[in-house]
Amino acid sequence: MTLQRLWTRGAIYLVLIAFAAYYMIPFYVMIITGLKPYEDVNVTRMWELPRGIYLEGIIEAWQRVSPNFINSVIITVPAALISSLIGSINGYIFAKWRFRGADTLFILFLVGMFLPYQGILIPLVLTLQKVGLYGSMGGLIMVHCIFGIPITALLFRSYYAGIPNELLDAARIDGCGFFGIFRWILLPLSLPAFAVVLLWQFTTIWNDFLIGLIVLSSPRLAPINVAVQNIAGSFSVEWNVQMSAALIAAAPTIIVYLALGKLFMRGLLAGSLKG
């Protein structure tokens, strides 16, 4: 019995380790290729470790994509902050001020979370051109904030739903109104929710490719993922530079994920309406 149990446990760990290895392989390949010098990046030696640490790939990649990396920071940070603020106030209203039709309206919001953007891209471009925001970072930030309305409202709504109404009642009796309750009761309790939403929006907007590609036509303004794609698309760029560029693009979200994995997980579950 115990021997059989030992076997089963061993097999479970073995399978898990195999899976873990599988999910790490592309990262392993990106890192070893990124650290190889140009002449060592060839098809036969692909799986071999670099002979040392060569930073020429990383340096060349950084020279190519650093302006775009900065663009992505300029786009992502304000967009994540603004959309989290919008989300918190919307979530507050959907959770605590349930006017007639609020739930139906909320579901209509959620639809926007799931639909493919291809169904709205053409009017989006036409509208942005008309109001003069096409091709500008401000326009892209605005678009990210608008497309973030559903998910941020959802995340904050489920968080605020857990805050007891008695607390709000007490604040009302003390003379707080709509904004007072939000400012003095909910906002001070919102830190965990803000962390989850900020993290989620940061990752989503940083990793975006399609909207950045459509709204910012100039390569000079392009966010990092568009730049990486441009590098990967040109055959003159060596693999070690491509991999380095991909690593640079992935670094911020990877760091954030490793530092705040628990929050990431919570956003993941809530984002599917579960959790």
Scan residues 145-164 and list those touching another protein (CB under 8 A). 146-147, 149-150, 153, 161, 164
Pairwise CA distance, residues 157 & 55, whole Å? 47
Residue 123 interacts with another protein (CB under 8 A): yes or no:
yes
Q: Is 138 in the site for another protein (CB under 8 A)?
A: no
Both tokens of 205, joined, read 């907007």
Using rule CB under 8 A, residue 118 touches another protein:
yes
Instruction: Select from 61-69, 74-82, 104-112, 188-196 the region that touches another protein (CB under 8 A).
Output: 104-112
Among 5, 52, 99, 130, indicate the residue that binds another protein (CB under 8 A). Answer: 99
Residue in the structure block whose two tokens are 């392009």? 222
194 binding another protein? (CB under 8 A): no
The 173-192 contact track toward another protein, x by CB under 8 A, reads ----xxx-------------
| Closest distance of CB 115 from another protein, Å | 6
Q: Please list every residue from 217 through 256 that binds another protein, using CB under 8 A.
A: 225, 228-229, 232, 239, 242-243, 245-246, 249-250, 253-254, 256
Cα distances (Å, whole numbers) of residue 160 to 30, 75, 122, 130, 187:
41, 28, 36, 38, 10
The span of 10-18, 53-61, 132-140, 186-194 binding another protein (CB under 8 A) equals 10-18
Q: Which of 46, 49, 55, 259 binds another protein (CB under 8 A)?
A: 46
| Residue 43 in the binding site for another protein (CB under 8 A) | yes
User: Which residues neighbour 252 within 8 Å (Cβ) at sequence distance 6 or greater?
Assistant: 206
Dist CA 40 CA 176 (whole Å): 68
Residue 27 touches another protein, criterion: CB under 8 A: yes
Q: Shortest gap between Cβ of 173 and another protein (angstroms)?
A: 8
Using the contact rule CB under 8 A, the part of the chain among 49-57, 123-131, 132-140, 183-191 near another protein is 123-131
DSSP three-state, residue 132: coil
Scanning the chain, the segments in alpha helix (DSSP H) are 2-34, 56-96, 102-114, 121-130, 137-147, 149-161, 165-173, 178-181, 187-189, 191-207, 210-215, 224-233, 239-259, 261-271
> Crossing angle, helix 191-207 and helix 149-161, to 10 degrees?
160
